[in-house]
Amino acid sequence: MKKFLCVTAVLLASLVGPSLAAEKPSDASALKGVTTGRVVWDVSMSNPTTLALFLSVVRETYDDLARQNVKPEMVLAIHGAPVRYVRKDREDLPLDVAAAVDRINDVLDDLAARPGVRIEVCSIANRLFGVDNAAIKPNFHVVGNTWVSLIGYQAQGYAIVPIN
């Protein structure tokens, strides 16, 4: 009986889920006259499980902007402890964080492949956390200092949203 209820719930969710997503509320008031959504996500959260969740919301934000005919222009400025999670080789990370780090990279790889998204990784944080710049995944951009990035992008009209 439990198995039947679980299967029924999954089927119901798959049928109802897409219709609920289609009925997502509008952000028309906030987006009135906005054609481009320029944002820098200031990523320094060290907890990989929570970071994976927040990055999923960043991806949803990209989708929400696009759904409402606003062109997303996003930079993810990664500094601090999270630089350890965006290396090509992550075998030295503890096993208890491996699944969360995989989710982080799945979301970041998906975002990096989208138009208007740039992922920057701080070379200062790499040095402080013992990460070789050459070890950063090739679809990400190592920059001199992500705080300089934040200053520059804000001067260009990007909103700064902290994820820490």
Evaluate whether 120 touches 77 at the Cβ level (below 8 Å): yes
**Phi–psi pair at 130, nearest 5 degrees:** 70, 30
SS3 at position 144: coil
Evaluate whether 126 touches 83 at the Cβ level (below 8 Å): yes
* The two three-digit tokens of residue 132, written as one number: 């070789």
Task: State the pLDDT at residue 92.
Answer: 78
pTM score of the predicted model: 0.84
Evaluate whether 120 touches 76 at the Cβ level (below 8 Å): yes
Helix segments in the chain, DSSP class H: 2-22, 28-31, 48-67, 95-112, 123-128, 146-155
Q: What is the pLDDT of residues 146-158, one digit of tens each?
A: 999 999 999 999 9
Amino acid occupying residue 40: V
Gap between the Cα atoms of 152 and 65, Å rounded: 23
Q: What is the pLDDT of residues 95-106, one digit of tens each?
A: 888 899 999 999
Mean pLDDT by runs of 10 across the 164 residues of the chain is 42 48 85 97 97 98 97 98 90 83 96 98 97 95 98 98 97
**Phi–psi pair at 71, nearest 5 degrees:** -75, 115
Gap between the Cα atoms of 74 and 69, Å rounded: 15
Name the one residue in this structure whose structure tokens are 């089927």: 11
Q: Which CATH superfamily is domain 35-163 in?
A: DsrEFH-like (3.40.1260.10)
Q: What is the pLDDT of residues 123-137, one digit of tens each?
A: 999 999 999 999 999
